Chain A
Amino acid sequence: MNKEQFTEKVLSAEQSLYRIARSILQNDTDCEDAMQNAVLSAYSKLDSLKREEYFQTWLTRILVNECYTLLRKRKPNVSYEEYMGAGEDAGSTFQNEEARGFSEVFEEIQKLDETYRIPFVLHYVEGYSVREISKMLNCSQGSIKTRLYRSRNLLKERLKGVEGYE
């Protein structure tokens, strides 16, 4: 795969990568860092990709690792509120969350604890299998299934009355 092909594949996966980064990191400043790091890391390890049809899964796994690396860097030093607001400081080029008018469903997904939110997004939003998610998150398939089951129930309860969901 040459640089052009790599670029094309990354851009075609861009929306998915952003949704996944956003579900883990929850602020745009960190999403930007994680996506950049993941792309650079992937390009430097390109020959470890055995089959091109798995490019997006492979890149997603790298992105998930980058997001967790970032998360570990952030968590010991800042409060949750500070972390959530990291992309909304004065001078930030990102709009704050309310101003962007996110949907109710998205906000409920984001309110799920990360234990449930990340498998939920990977499976129900992005369509990855339990097996793929277990490899990405370094968790047993049983744990992933349990988390999906609980996340589904939690969301079902919280999204009662939301048009199109029921």
Chain B
Amino acid sequence: MNKKSENIKNGNLDFDWKGQFPTVPEQIHRSLVNTLEELPDALQDAPISSKVKSSTTALWRRGALLAAALVAVLGTTVAASEIFKWNERTIRYLHNPSEEIQNKFTNLGLTSIGGDSATVEGITVAVEQVVQDENTLYVALKVTAEEPIVGGWGFLKYQYVTDEGETLNLIPGTEKHSFYNDSYSRQSHAEEEPLTKEGYAFYAIHSNVVGKLTYDHLTLRLTDYNYSQYYTPVTAEEKEMFIEGCWELSIPLNTDSAKQLTKVYEVNQEVPMNAEPVTVKEITLTPFTLSIVGEASEDKEKRKEYSEKYDKWYQADGFGQKCIYGIKYKDGRVVDLSHNTAGLGTFSGVGAEREYYGEFNTIVDTNNVAAILFGENGEISIEVEETP
């Protein structure tokens, strides 16, 4: 942890801020101590994360070895990657998909390099790359300012307008996993110097919020650069930070091609989901997402047994995060669902009906998936075969 900056001029930094906060209430302290006491010793021998991490890393490390086989399956050529290079930031954000996967998306028209741009008041917003499947659209943007910008990078409103004129508000952090704004700025001067001329952003739009991406294109509408609904600028310096305007960008979609990579599996197998016994009926897999429809058992004894056996673990990673573990390829490699904010497994349903939805933080080759994994470490699996 670093020391406080010495350069901050406003406000009294020597003030005893910590002393102003309440101390931990006794109940919270007791429950924390109880939780710590109940931690199993054995966990240290087989931590979840080691398996999650190694499986993900191994996937892409071994990707190159599968190149020839994948090229044959995907009907692509290596030369395509030389002609059509993915944006380096997109590759990084999507956790280094192999060249074969990149070529597959290129050849199916599921990605486009470059694209629309808009300039207002000296601020240019340009599409660097778009990548999509049937459920998810990723847009990499570059923001360029004619003059260095004081302050941060961001817009007041983020909206998508469909072909049918429907406007969808996407506000970072307030929609459930609908908007993942992993933006960052590149400093033009020293690191602590707040003047920048370029910024980048990577946005994800998910079908569980906006519905299936069935349009020919969407319009991304960004409004009021650096504005805040919570703050009215007062000083001249603050006013310089805010630029009113509307930047609209046309984003092409290719729904028909995206459907080719979506796999639907009909199954009838009971697995633990969120510490409930659930009979899985249908699984839909896309390169970025996994959706499951099931039916929870109403057998009280069985429900009690599952609750006691699995509840601890399902709570351990937060709400619903352990509903689905991930997928296993035919060659045994495993890809887990993302454990970042964008990738939590979520569930909903009325009565016994259950629906689960999770996101990968990388691209899954849906043609080579052998099983869907559940349980603490993916030890429970449902083998899948595409429904004709």
User: When the two chains form the complex, which single residue of B10, B36, B344 contacts A153, counting CB atoms closer than 8 Å?
Assistant: B10
Could you tell me the distance in whole angstroms from the C-beta of A136 to the nearest C-beta in chain B?
A: 11
Binding site for B on A (CB under 8 A): 1-3, 6-7, 10-11, 14-15, 18-19, 22, 28, 31-32, 35-37, 39-41, 43-48, 56-57, 65-66, 68-70, 72-73, 75-76, 93-95, 100, 102-103, 105-106, 109, 113, 115-116, 123-130, 132, 134, 138-150, 152-156, 164-166
User: When the two chains form the complex, which single residue of A94, A127, A141 contacts B4, counting CB atoms closer than 8 Å?
Assistant: A127
Interface-facing stretch out of B19-27, B122-130, B361-369: B19-27
User: When the two chains form the complex, which single residue of B1, B25, B35 contacts A128, counting CB atoms closer than 8 Å?
Assistant: B1
Interface contact B36-A152, CB-CB below 8 Å:
no
Could you tell me the distance in whole angstroms from the C-beta of A81 to the nearest C-beta in chain B?
A: 17
- Chain A residues near B16: list those with CB within 8 A: 164
Q: A11-B36, A68-B173, A69-B318 are in contact. List 11 more A-B contacts (CB 8 A).
A: A36-B31, A37-B317, A41-B316, A41-B318, A44-B48, A47-B47, A95-B25, A103-B20, A126-B1, A146-B194, A152-B8
A-B contact pairs, 15 of them (CB 8 A): A3-B44, A6-B39, A19-B21, A39-B36, A41-B318, A43-B39, A69-B344, A93-B27, A102-B22, A125-B21, A139-B183, A140-B154, A142-B149, A143-B152, A143-B154
User: When the two chains form the complex, which single residue of B1, B20, B53 contacts A48, counting CB atoms closer than 8 Å?
Assistant: B53
- Chain A residues near B31: list those with CB within 8 A: 32, 36
- Chain B residues near A15: list those with CB within 8 A: 18, 23-24
Interface-facing stretch out of B70-78, B94-102, B174-182, B352-360: B174-182
Pairs A-B, 5 closest by C-beta atoms:
A143-B152, A45-B49, A129-B2, A146-B151, A142-B152
Interface contact A124-B341, CB-CB below 8 Å:
no
Q: How far is the CA of A130 from the CA of B8 in the complex (A)?
A: 12
Known: A39-B36, A69-B319. A156 touches B11 (CB 8 A): yes
- Chain A residues near B380: list those with CB within 8 A: none
User: When the two chains form the complex, which single residue of B12, B27, B32, B48 contacts A166, counting CB atoms closer than 8 Å?
Assistant: B12
Interface residues of B in 163-178 (CB under 8 A from A): 173-174, 176-177
The chain A residue with its CB closest to the CB of B183 is A140
Known: A45-B47, A124-B13. A142 touches B39 (CB 8 A): no
Interface contact B176-A76, CB-CB below 8 Å:
yes
Interface residues of B in 25-52 (CB under 8 A from A): 25, 27-29, 31-33, 35-37, 39, 41, 43-44, 47-50
- Chain B residues near A150: list those with CB within 8 A: 228, 231, 238
Q: What total count of A-B pairs have CB within 8 Å?
A: 202
Interface contact A140-B184, CB-CB below 8 Å:
yes
Q: How far is the CA of A35 from the CA of B21 in the complex (A)?
A: 17
Could you tell me the distance in whole angstroms from the C-beta of A18 to the nearest C-beta in chain B?
A: 4
User: When the two chains form the complex, which single residue of B2, B153, B230, B315 contacts A116, counting CB atoms closer than 8 Å?
Assistant: B230
Could you tell me the distance in whole angstroms from the C-beta of B31 to the nearest C-beta in chain A?
A: 6
- Chain A residues near B181: list those with CB within 8 A: 138-139
Q: How far is the CA of A115 from the CA of B28 in the complex (A)?
A: 26
User: When the two chains form the complex, which single residue of B5, B20, B23, B25 contacts A105, counting CB atoms closer than 8 Å?
Assistant: B20
Known: A57-B1, A94-B25, A152-B8. A37 touches B318 (CB 8 A): yes
Could you tell me the distance in whole angstroms from the C-beta of B2 to the nearest C-beta in chain A?
A: 4
Q: How far is the CA of A102 from the CA of B183 in the complex (A)?
A: 36
Q: How far is the CA of A111 from the CA of B154 in the complex (A)?
A: 23
Q: How far is the CA of A106 from the CA of B44 in the complex (A)?
A: 39
The chain A residue with its CB closest to the CB of B181 is A138
Interface contact A147-B341, CB-CB below 8 Å:
no
The chain A residue with its CB closest to the CB of B18 is A125
Q: How far is the CA of A33 from the CA of B156 in the complex (A)?
A: 32
Is B241 interfacial (CB 8 A cutoff)?
yes
User: When the two chains form the complex, which single residue of B32, B44, B47, B151 contacts A2, counting CB atoms closer than 8 Å?
Assistant: B44
Most buried by A among B3, B21, B23, B33: B21
- Chain B residues near A127: list those with CB within 8 A: 1-4
Q: How far is the CA of A156 from the CA of B48 in the complex (A)?
A: 45
Q: How far is the CA of A97 from the CA of B46 in the complex (A)?
A: 42
Q: How far is the CA of A6 from the CA of B16 in the complex (A)?
A: 29
- Chain A residues near B176: list those with CB within 8 A: 72, 76
Is B144 interfacial (CB 8 A cutoff)?
no
Known: A41-B317, A165-B15. A132 touches B341 (CB 8 A): no
Is B196 interfacial (CB 8 A cutoff)?
yes
Could you tell me the distance in whole angstroms from the C-beta of B177 to the nearest C-beta in chain A?
A: 8
Interface contact B41-A3, CB-CB below 8 Å:
yes
Could you tell me the distance in whole angstroms from the C-beta of A84 to the nearest C-beta in chain B?
A: 15
- As a 0/1 sequence over residues 313 to 325 of chain B, the CB contacts with chain A under 8 angstroms (1 = contact) are 0011111000000
Interface contact A48-B49, CB-CB below 8 Å:
yes
Interface contact A18-B11, CB-CB below 8 Å:
no
- As a 0/1 sequence over residues 205 to 222 of chain B, the CB contacts with chain A under 8 angstroms (1 = contact) are 000000000000000000
